[in-house]
Amino acid sequence: MTVNEVLNKVFPLGSKVEIENNIVSGEGRTAAGIVQIIGTCNNTVIGVDEILALSVKFLEVMRENPGRPVLMMVDNNGQKMALNDELLGLNQYIAHLVKLQDMARRNSHKVIALVYGNSIAGGFIAFGLCAGDTYALEGSNTSVMALPAVARVTKLPLEYLEELSKTVAVFAPGVKNFYLAGGLQSVWCDDLNQCLENALKEDQCSDMRSRIGMERGGRSAAWNMTQKILDEQ
Protein backbone atom coordinates (compact mmCIF):
# COMPACT_ATOMS: atom_id res chain seq x y z
CA MET A 1 0.00 0.00 0.00
CA THR A 2 1.14 3.56 -0.64
CA VAL A 3 1.50 5.94 2.26
CA ASN A 4 -1.72 7.75 1.27
CA GLU A 5 -3.69 4.51 1.04
CA VAL A 6 -2.59 3.61 4.55
CA LEU A 7 -3.25 7.11 5.90
CA ASN A 8 -6.78 7.08 4.43
CA LYS A 9 -7.52 3.99 6.50
CA VAL A 10 -5.79 5.27 9.64
CA PHE A 11 -7.51 8.67 9.44
CA PRO A 12 -11.04 8.26 8.05
CA LEU A 13 -11.76 11.82 9.28
CA GLY A 14 -9.08 13.03 6.89
CA SER A 15 -5.37 13.59 6.54
CA LYS A 16 -3.15 15.73 4.39
CA VAL A 17 0.53 15.11 3.69
CA GLU A 18 3.22 16.53 1.47
CA ILE A 19 5.88 14.29 0.00
CA GLU A 20 9.26 15.74 -0.90
CA ASN A 21 12.36 13.65 -1.63
CA ASN A 22 10.64 10.64 -0.06
CA ILE A 23 9.99 12.54 3.19
CA VAL A 24 6.34 12.53 4.24
CA SER A 25 4.92 15.24 6.49
CA GLY A 26 1.49 16.53 7.37
CA GLU A 27 -1.45 16.13 9.72
CA GLY A 28 -4.19 13.63 10.36
CA ARG A 29 -7.51 14.15 12.13
CA THR A 30 -8.82 11.84 14.85
CA ALA A 31 -11.75 12.05 17.25
CA ALA A 32 -9.25 13.01 19.95
CA GLY A 33 -7.55 15.76 17.91
CA ILE A 34 -4.81 16.42 15.37
CA VAL A 35 -1.92 13.95 14.93
CA GLN A 36 1.36 15.06 13.32
CA ILE A 37 2.54 12.74 10.54
CA ILE A 38 6.29 12.36 9.94
CA GLY A 39 7.57 9.61 7.68
CA THR A 40 9.34 8.26 4.63
CA CYS A 41 8.16 6.40 1.53
CA ASN A 42 9.32 4.52 -1.57
CA ASN A 43 11.65 2.23 0.43
CA THR A 44 14.06 5.15 0.75
CA VAL A 45 17.43 4.67 2.44
CA ILE A 46 18.14 6.72 5.56
CA GLY A 47 21.16 8.94 5.00
CA VAL A 48 22.32 12.32 6.27
CA ASP A 49 19.86 14.32 4.09
CA GLU A 50 16.84 12.21 5.08
CA ILE A 51 17.79 12.50 8.76
CA LEU A 52 18.14 16.28 8.66
CA ALA A 53 14.75 16.58 6.94
CA LEU A 54 13.05 14.30 9.47
CA SER A 55 14.79 16.01 12.40
CA VAL A 56 13.46 19.40 11.32
CA LYS A 57 9.93 17.98 11.49
CA PHE A 58 10.46 16.76 15.05
CA LEU A 59 11.95 20.09 16.12
CA GLU A 60 8.99 21.91 14.52
CA VAL A 61 6.32 19.85 16.25
CA MET A 62 8.02 20.24 19.64
CA ARG A 63 8.27 24.00 19.17
CA GLU A 64 4.96 24.75 17.48
CA ASN A 65 2.58 22.11 18.80
CA PRO A 66 3.80 20.96 22.19
CA GLY A 67 2.24 17.67 23.28
CA ARG A 68 0.69 16.85 19.89
CA PRO A 69 0.93 13.10 19.13
CA VAL A 70 3.29 12.06 16.33
CA LEU A 71 2.65 9.16 13.96
CA MET A 72 5.87 8.02 12.30
CA MET A 73 5.15 6.33 8.95
CA VAL A 74 8.04 3.91 8.51
CA ASP A 75 9.27 2.60 5.17
CA ASN A 76 12.99 2.25 4.47
CA ASN A 77 15.51 -0.15 3.00
CA GLY A 78 18.03 0.51 5.76
CA GLN A 79 20.70 3.10 6.36
CA LYS A 80 22.39 4.72 3.37
CA MET A 81 25.64 2.99 2.53
CA ALA A 82 27.85 5.70 1.08
CA LEU A 83 31.33 6.98 1.72
CA ASN A 84 30.23 10.61 2.05
CA ASP A 85 27.58 9.82 4.66
CA GLU A 86 30.07 7.79 6.68
CA LEU A 87 32.68 10.52 6.28
CA LEU A 88 30.22 13.02 7.80
CA GLY A 89 29.51 10.71 10.75
CA LEU A 90 26.21 9.03 9.87
CA ASN A 91 26.11 7.37 13.29
CA GLN A 92 25.92 10.78 14.95
CA TYR A 93 23.13 11.88 12.59
CA ILE A 94 21.11 8.75 13.35
CA ALA A 95 21.75 9.26 17.07
CA HIS A 96 20.45 12.84 16.68
CA LEU A 97 17.19 11.70 15.09
CA VAL A 98 16.77 9.03 17.74
CA LYS A 99 17.32 11.57 20.54
CA LEU A 100 14.69 13.87 19.03
CA GLN A 101 12.11 11.07 19.09
CA ASP A 102 13.10 10.32 22.69
CA MET A 103 12.93 13.98 23.68
CA ALA A 104 9.50 14.39 22.05
CA ARG A 105 8.21 11.49 24.14
CA ARG A 106 9.70 13.04 27.30
CA ASN A 107 7.99 16.32 26.37
CA SER A 108 4.55 14.61 26.47
CA HIS A 109 4.19 13.84 22.77
CA LYS A 110 2.95 10.31 22.12
CA VAL A 111 5.45 9.01 19.56
CA ILE A 112 3.97 6.11 17.61
CA ALA A 113 5.87 4.33 14.82
CA LEU A 114 3.97 2.33 12.20
CA VAL A 115 6.00 0.18 9.80
CA TYR A 116 3.86 0.10 6.67
CA GLY A 117 6.52 -0.87 4.09
CA ASN A 118 10.02 -2.08 4.88
CA SER A 119 12.17 -1.35 7.87
CA ILE A 120 15.67 -2.70 7.82
CA ALA A 121 18.84 -2.72 9.93
CA GLY A 122 20.15 0.76 10.80
CA GLY A 123 17.07 2.28 9.15
CA PHE A 124 14.83 0.54 11.67
CA ILE A 125 16.90 1.82 14.61
CA ALA A 126 16.98 5.35 13.16
CA PHE A 127 13.29 5.50 12.44
CA GLY A 128 10.98 2.96 14.05
CA LEU A 129 12.43 1.14 17.03
CA CYS A 130 13.22 4.28 19.05
CA ALA A 131 9.66 5.63 19.07
CA GLY A 132 7.56 5.46 22.23
CA ASP A 133 5.82 2.40 20.81
CA THR A 134 6.46 0.53 17.56
CA TYR A 135 3.77 -1.16 15.46
CA ALA A 136 3.73 -2.84 12.06
CA LEU A 137 1.03 -3.15 9.46
CA GLU A 138 0.11 -6.69 8.53
CA GLY A 139 2.08 -7.56 5.39
CA SER A 140 4.93 -5.13 6.07
CA ASN A 141 8.52 -6.26 6.37
CA THR A 142 11.00 -5.84 9.23
CA SER A 143 14.46 -7.36 9.14
CA VAL A 144 18.09 -6.91 10.04
CA MET A 145 19.55 -8.91 7.17
CA ALA A 146 18.04 -11.19 4.54
CA LEU A 147 18.71 -14.90 5.01
CA PRO A 148 21.02 -15.34 1.97
CA ALA A 149 23.30 -12.65 3.42
CA VAL A 150 23.11 -14.26 6.87
CA ALA A 151 24.13 -17.55 5.21
CA ARG A 152 27.18 -15.86 3.66
CA VAL A 153 28.29 -14.27 6.94
CA THR A 154 27.65 -17.27 9.18
CA LYS A 155 28.86 -19.78 6.53
CA LEU A 156 25.81 -21.96 7.18
CA PRO A 157 23.75 -23.46 4.34
CA LEU A 158 20.75 -21.34 3.35
CA GLU A 159 18.46 -24.40 3.50
CA TYR A 160 19.49 -24.95 7.12
CA LEU A 161 18.75 -21.30 8.02
CA GLU A 162 15.39 -21.43 6.24
CA GLU A 163 14.44 -24.53 8.21
CA LEU A 164 15.74 -22.99 11.47
CA SER A 165 13.83 -19.77 10.84
CA LYS A 166 10.55 -21.67 11.16
CA THR A 167 11.18 -22.43 14.82
CA VAL A 168 13.75 -19.88 16.06
CA ALA A 169 12.19 -16.40 16.14
CA VAL A 170 15.28 -14.64 17.37
CA PHE A 171 17.22 -14.31 14.12
CA ALA A 172 14.84 -14.72 11.17
CA PRO A 173 13.41 -11.73 9.29
CA GLY A 174 9.73 -10.93 9.44
CA VAL A 175 7.08 -9.03 11.36
CA LYS A 176 5.96 -12.15 13.24
CA ASN A 177 9.47 -12.74 14.59
CA PHE A 178 9.91 -9.12 15.68
CA TYR A 179 6.51 -9.35 17.34
CA LEU A 180 7.47 -12.50 19.24
CA ALA A 181 10.71 -10.87 20.42
CA GLY A 182 8.71 -7.94 21.83
CA GLY A 183 9.93 -5.41 19.26
CA LEU A 184 6.41 -4.65 18.07
CA GLN A 185 3.63 -3.71 20.44
CA SER A 186 1.05 -5.20 18.06
CA VAL A 187 0.42 -5.84 14.38
CA TRP A 188 -2.22 -3.57 12.85
CA CYS A 189 -4.95 -5.04 10.66
CA ASP A 190 -8.66 -4.56 9.94
CA ASP A 191 -9.81 -1.26 11.55
CA LEU A 192 -6.62 0.83 11.38
CA ASN A 193 -8.33 3.88 12.88
CA GLN A 194 -9.20 1.84 15.97
CA CYS A 195 -5.58 0.63 16.09
CA LEU A 196 -4.38 4.26 16.19
CA GLU A 197 -6.95 5.23 18.83
CA ASN A 198 -5.71 2.35 20.98
CA ALA A 199 -2.08 3.30 20.43
CA LEU A 200 -2.81 6.89 21.51
CA LYS A 201 -4.01 5.58 24.88
CA GLU A 202 -0.70 3.86 25.73
CA ASP A 203 1.26 5.83 28.35
CA GLN A 204 4.73 5.13 26.79
CA CYS A 205 6.34 5.69 30.20
CA SER A 206 8.45 2.57 30.45
CA ASP A 207 10.16 0.19 28.06
CA MET A 208 8.44 -3.18 28.49
CA ARG A 209 9.78 -4.83 25.35
CA SER A 210 12.01 -7.44 26.97
CA ARG A 211 9.24 -8.46 29.33
CA ILE A 212 6.76 -8.72 26.45
CA GLY A 213 9.34 -10.72 24.46
CA MET A 214 9.61 -13.16 27.36
CA GLU A 215 5.84 -13.51 27.66
CA ARG A 216 5.52 -14.14 23.93
CA GLY A 217 8.33 -16.71 24.02
CA GLY A 218 10.51 -14.99 21.39
CA ARG A 219 13.13 -13.59 23.77
CA SER A 220 13.28 -15.67 26.91
CA ALA A 221 16.54 -14.58 28.56
CA ALA A 222 16.72 -10.76 28.35
CA TRP A 223 14.19 -9.67 30.98
CA ASN A 224 15.59 -11.89 33.75
CA MET A 225 19.17 -10.90 32.90
CA THR A 226 18.37 -7.20 33.14
CA GLN A 227 16.45 -7.64 36.40
CA LYS A 228 19.27 -9.65 37.94
CA ILE A 229 21.83 -6.91 37.30
CA LEU A 230 19.42 -4.26 38.52
CA ASP A 231 18.57 -6.12 41.73
CA GLU A 232 22.07 -7.16 42.88
CA GLN A 233 23.35 -5.35 45.95
Partner 1 sequence: MRLKTFRSYFEATARQRVAGVFDKNSFAELCPPSEQFGSPHLKHFNIPLSFDDGVVVGDVLLGGMKICCAAQEGRFMGGAIGEVHSAKIVGILKRCLKKKPEAMVFLFDSGGVRLQEANAGEIGVAEIIRALLDVRYAGIPVIGAIGGSCGVFGGAGIISGCCDALVVSEEARIGVSGPEVIETNMGVDVFDSRDRALVWRTCGGKHRYILEMADDIVENSMEAFRNALIKLMKIKKTYDLAGLEKEHEILKKRSTDFSDCRDGFDVWRKIGFSDVEKIPSLTVEDLKAQQKNRGGVK
The interface mask with partner 1, positions 155-184, x = CB under 8 A, is -x-------x---xxxxxx---xx--xxx-
Total of residues contacting partner 1 (CB under 8 A): 73
**Only segment of 3-11, 13-21, 187-195, 217-225 that touches partner 1 (CB under 8 A):** 217-225
- Can you tell me which of 49, 197, 215, 216 binds partner 1, judged by CB under 8 A? 49
Closer Cβ to partner 1, 69 or 128, answer by number: 128
**Can you say how many angstroms the Cα of residue 51 is from the centroid of all Cα atoms in its chain?**
14
* Backbone angle region of 188, left / alpha / beta, with phi > 0 → left and psi within -120 to 50 → alpha: beta
135 binds partner 1 (CB under 8 A): no
Residue type, 26: G
Tell me if residue 66 falls in helix, strand or coil: coil
Closer Cβ to partner 1, 18 or 231, answer by number: 231
- Can you tell me which of 14, 67, 89, 139 binds partner 1, judged by CB under 8 A? 89
Taking CB under 8 A as the criterion, which residues in 5-34 touch partner 1?
Answer: none
187 binds partner 1 (CB under 8 A): no
- Can you tell me which of 34, 59, 158, 189 binds partner 1, judged by CB under 8 A? 59
Tell me if residue 167 falls in helix, strand or coil: coil
Q: How do 15-20 and 23-30 pair as beta strands?
A: antiparallel
Phi then psi dihedrals of residue 15, to 5 deg: -150, 155
218 binds partner 1 (CB under 8 A): yes
Please say whether the beta carbons of 45 and 76 come within 8 A: yes
**Only segment of 15-23, 28-36, 126-134, 193-201 that touches partner 1 (CB under 8 A):** 126-134
Sheet holding 133-137, edge to edge: 15-20, 23-30, 33-40, 70-74, 111-115, 133-137, 187-188
